[in-house]
Chain A
């Protein structure tokens, strides 16, 4: 019936037999055949495709369920629950549900730590390279220290190490709390590797 369609000028907006369109006027009966309506449909499909494509490019919002435990310094354990003294019998009351505290992050080995730092999206590429430069500089200072060529003491090296850790944590703590927490947990273990000449030599090998 395509050939049978008739094109009439749209008389007025009040006529229910016509549908006003910015480009032209089509009869409602011809809505699926009219060229302008096809154009509008194609345009709408394009818009939908663009919208879907734009949405799929956006980064997914990740939510970290547990509260941040980044501020907990390494080595400090939460106070252990003290055994309660035998209490007098209390009439039974509804016990509020116990909120389970998030498990502390496991210390990472150096290779895992390196991989996760490379993969995290919390730090930009240039920042990662800068951090790597500074890690390399610190390792160079340790090397000189063990070779007896540096004026630095182990205390100075510890200060530099802590400062570098602070920089890394500052960069991570807002956007990758899990990795920041793991680094906090690994902090002392990594220091022990660096502060021992034999393990340091193993790392350098």
Chain B
């Protein structure tokens, strides 16, 4: 039984190692998307370095220059970028 548990644990660890890059790629894509959105609004940011997902289409983005923005989709279908203090 111990051997089975060990084998399964081994498989899960390796699965987690393989799964991480995919999630990281999604994360990078989101950061890139938000970087472009903030730049398109003409707001200072540089690159987005961290993103906090608040809800669907609702994010808090932290920029490399220290600025933070709330980026979300309004009910009218507009992307709204609000500077946060």
Task: Please list the residues of chain A having a beta carbon within 8 angstroms of any beta carbon in chain B.
Answer: 23-24, 35-36, 39-40, 42-43, 46-47, 50-51, 53-54, 57-58, 123-127, 129-131, 133-134, 167, 171
Sample of 13 further A-B pairs with CB below 8 A, known A39-B4, A129-B78, A131-B40: A43-B7, A46-B11, A53-B18, A54-B21, A58-B25, A124-B29, A124-B30, A126-B33, A126-B79, A129-B79, A130-B36, A130-B37, A133-B77
Are B37 and A127 in contact, with the CB atoms below 8 A? yes
B contact residues, range: 20 to 34
The chain A residue with its CB closest to the CB of B2 is A23
Which secondary structure dominates where chain A touches chain B?
Answer: helix
Offer 12 A-B interface pairs, CB within 8 angstroms, sorted by A.
A23-B6, A35-B3, A39-B4, A39-B7, A40-B7, A53-B18, A126-B34, A126-B57, A126-B79, A127-B33, A129-B77, A130-B79
Interface of B toward A, CB cutoff 8 Å: 3-4, 6-7, 10-11, 14-15, 18-19, 21-22, 25, 29-30, 32-34, 36-37, 40-41, 57, 71, 73, 77-79
Give min CB distance, A67 to chain B, whole Å: 25
Residues in chain B near residue A53, CB distance under 8 A: 18
